[in-house]
Amino acid sequence: MFLEKDLSGRPQKGWVEVICGSMFSGKTEELIRRLNRAKIARQSVEIFKPAIDTRYSDTAVVSHNENAIRSTPVETASNILLLSGNVDVIGIDEAQFFDNALVEVCNKLAGMGIRVVVAGLDMDFQGKPFGPMPQLMAIAEYVTKVHAICMRCGSLANFSHRLSHEEKLVVLGEKNEYEPLCRECFIEQNKKK
């Protein structure tokens, strides 16, 4: 198993990395990049995604740029533990759609010496913390927040604005359903609703 070094120079066994941000910010692209690098380093890698995410593929994690990596769809976070096997790295996409047990699952995997790379929306369409993401960011050794570009003014965007009037929390969608907005434009758009 590949072992990173911590700041003291000792081998670091397992850890949790979180990649978060708004829609269209490159979260899945970064997840795929990190997992492909692990594969190049001859590390064994398993990737999981929520079974409800069938936007691009039933069995692959696919970025908006159409980069893809094979994955295993699962119904619940606890299934990840059952299907993990003997691996060095586990990737988890669309973490916001999993139940809160994902936090315990990631902690257990890291405790077993596995590098866990998780990607997901940090906020929902209302600008509120989404699912298990806040707890995952709290327990992670590494957190990377990526940003999109605001579709209204060109500033850095960290909000996922829903274009439809659908009120359900989970609405799978693409550019026809969501747009990334900066804070100012997000506030302005929500005043209009």
What positions carry a catalytic annotation? 94
Strands 142-146 and 115-121: unpaired
How far apart (Å, rounded) are the C-alpha atoms in residues 107 and 109?
6
Q: 49 pairs with which residues across the strands? A: 73
Q: Which residue has the tokens 């929306």?
A: 121
Q: What angle do CA 74, 91, 131 make, to 5 degrees?
A: 65
Q: Which amino acid is at 39?
A: K
